[in-house]
């Protein structure tokens, strides 16, 4: 329940919304007592000793709570700001600067977000944050490939966190193909292209898009 409140900074969150976010349709019979049992210990952790309720970082009223973020810094807010700025720098054409900023944004992740937290709210936030990480990682890999830093791109593409979000995702195989060509590992590049082509054709009956299907030197950027 703390996550369902703290990840809605400055929003007035009703008790019902908190309960739905954690238990969904299976709200406990004592549901009206549950929010206070979670929020009061959280206040004791977050507030300085002797803080009055009206000055708490978690304000409350009849049937609601609000997490006040004045003077509080959330890592999710840092991720949003750093990620957005890195993508803006990339769009401006400063690939080297974007690479550094994307690396800093990605470093904010520590394993799977909200790991082991139950409930629909945590599940939705987990998926949102994982998609955000994937977007930033793809942007970082694209920068490395366009800069001709093919070996670094391949190192990152080999990391488990760089795995595609689904079996039919062409983005990462396409980048791997280009990086392999850039390293003059053409046989491996052709294998990647062929494996993706076969998987898409056999399982969904389509061919890879132009970016993933390019199997010649034209797939390699001119950053070398």
Compare 168 and 69 and report the one with higher pLDDT.
69
Over residues 167-208, the pLDDT tens digits come to 446 788 889 899 999 999 988 888 888 887 787 776 666 565
Q: What is the length of the chain?
A: 224
The phi, psi pair for 118, rounded to 5°, reads: -85, 170
- Phi-psi map region of 51: left, alpha, beta (phi>0 left; psi -120 to 50 alpha): beta
Strands 12-14 and 64-67: antiparallel
Over residues 95-119, the pLDDT tens digits come to 999 999 999 999 999 889 999 898 9
Per the CB < 8 A criterion, the answer to whether 129 and 165 are in contact is no
CA distance 182 to 48: 56
Using the CB atoms, write b or e for 7-36: b if 16+ within 10 Å: bbeeeebebebbbbbbbeeeeeeeeeebbe
């Amino acid at each position: 329940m703390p996550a369902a409140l703290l990840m809605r900074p400055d929003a007035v969150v009703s008790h019902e919304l908190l309960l739905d976010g954690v238990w969904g349709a299976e709200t406990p019979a004592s549901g009206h007592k549950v929010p206070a049992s979670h929020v009061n210990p959280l206040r004791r952790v977050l507030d300085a000793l002797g803080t009055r309720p009206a000055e708490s970082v978690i304000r409350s009223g009849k049937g609601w709570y609000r997490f006040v973020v004045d003077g509080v810094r959330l890592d999710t807010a840092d991720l949003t700001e750093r990620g957005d700025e890195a993508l803006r720098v990339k769009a401006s054409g400063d690939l080297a600067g974007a690479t550094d900023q994307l690396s800093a944004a990605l470093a904010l992740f520590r394993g799977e977000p909200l790991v082991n937290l139950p409930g629909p709210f945590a599940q939705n936030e987990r998926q949102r944050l994982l998609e955000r990480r994937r977007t930033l990682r793809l942007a970082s890999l694209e920068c490395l490939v366009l800069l001709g830093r093919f070996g670094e791109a391949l190192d990152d593409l080999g990391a488990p966190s760089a795995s595609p979000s689904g079996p039919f995702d062409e983005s990462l195989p396409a980048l791997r193909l280009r990086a392999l060509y850039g390293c003059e590992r053409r046989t491996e590049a052709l294998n990647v292209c062929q494996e993706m082509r076969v998987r898409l054709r056999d399982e969904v009956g389509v061919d890879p898009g132009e970016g993933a299907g390019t199997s010649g030197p034209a797939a390699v950027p001119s950053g070398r």
